[in-house]
Amino acid sequence: MEFHFFDCHTHSEFSSCAEDVTLSGYAEIARTTNTRFAVTDHSAQIFYPPDNRWGFWSDEAVELFEASRDGGRQRVEHWLRTLREAQTGGMLVGTELDVLPDGRRVFPDEMLETLDVVLGAVHSMPTLRDERPVAEIHDEFRFQVEALAGHGIEVLVHPYRLLLAAEVPVPEGLVRWTVEAARELGFALEINSHKQYPEHDVLMARMALEEGVPLAIGTDTHRSSEFGDFSYHERVLGEVLPDGDWARHLWEPTVEVREAAAG
Ligand SMILES: [Zn+2]
Ligand SMILES: [Zn+2]
């Protein structure tokens, strides 16, 4: 039997690194199928000015953030209005939240709580750019994860991508730390298929199951061919849960609960 995953993580044209995916395309899928997914654009790329969408990833991230506060708020408001207008069916609206090196979130203060889904990512680390010793890079990683948790993220996405892509070691102890942080601070951990690190994903998934931490399923779609392809997630889940009893371990959005609470 085919398993119907909730895809917590996709990008639209509001994310600069997205390729052929569009909000109208997602809306069409949501209108014509029963697919459930969240559109979660990068908060920094919505917030930072159009002529400097990658400013968050530079050494000027903080200065640019300070200088673009008003414009950033307007851009986030426009993005959110546009997504809400397009929203239909099983489509939810969220963001992939970025934090500055000092831990502040790149999103207007009171608007984050209005989203259906809040993901968090470690996307930019000065210690990595400066090629600092591994212990300092790990410290900064833990600092950013805790900062994201403090902002109320529901899912930590592609936890080790930045480190592994830079060939920084991710030892079992750091995976253990992440899983315990997830349990204590209350967020799920994503299995992400956009860039695949099976060894670490299997280890993380195994520990998450032991600790009762939910696993979130994300395609992190940047191009349309990635959307709806859960073969990687099935492979990882198949290794850690060979009996196929996946549903009760997977993270689900709580948007209906929130709406009920608001009403
Ligand atoms: Zn990301
Ligand atoms: Zn993403």
pLDDT of 1 above 60: no
Q: Please tell me the distance between residue 156's alpha carbon and the centre of ligand 2 in angstroms.
A: 11
Q: Which domains does the chain have, with CATH numbers?
A: 7-262 (3.20.20.140)
Q: Please tell me the distance between residue 13's alpha carbon and the centre of ligand 2 in angstroms.
A: 12
The pLDDT score that the predictor gives to residue 260 is 52
Q: Please tell me the distance between residue 9's alpha carbon and the centre of ligand 2 in angstroms.
A: 6
The pLDDT score that the predictor gives to residue 263 is 40
Q: Please tell me the distance between residue 112's alpha carbon and the centre of ligand 2 in angstroms.
A: 17
Q: How much of the chain exceeds pLDDT 70, in percent?
A: 96
Q: Please tell me the distance between residue 195's alpha carbon and the centre of ligand 2 in angstroms.
A: 10
- Largest pairwise CA distance in the chain: 53
Single pTM value for the model: 0.96
The pLDDT score that the predictor gives to residue 255 is 82
Q: Please tell me the distance between residue 187's alpha carbon and the centre of ligand 2 in angstroms.
A: 17
What's the mean per-residue pLDDT of the chain? 95
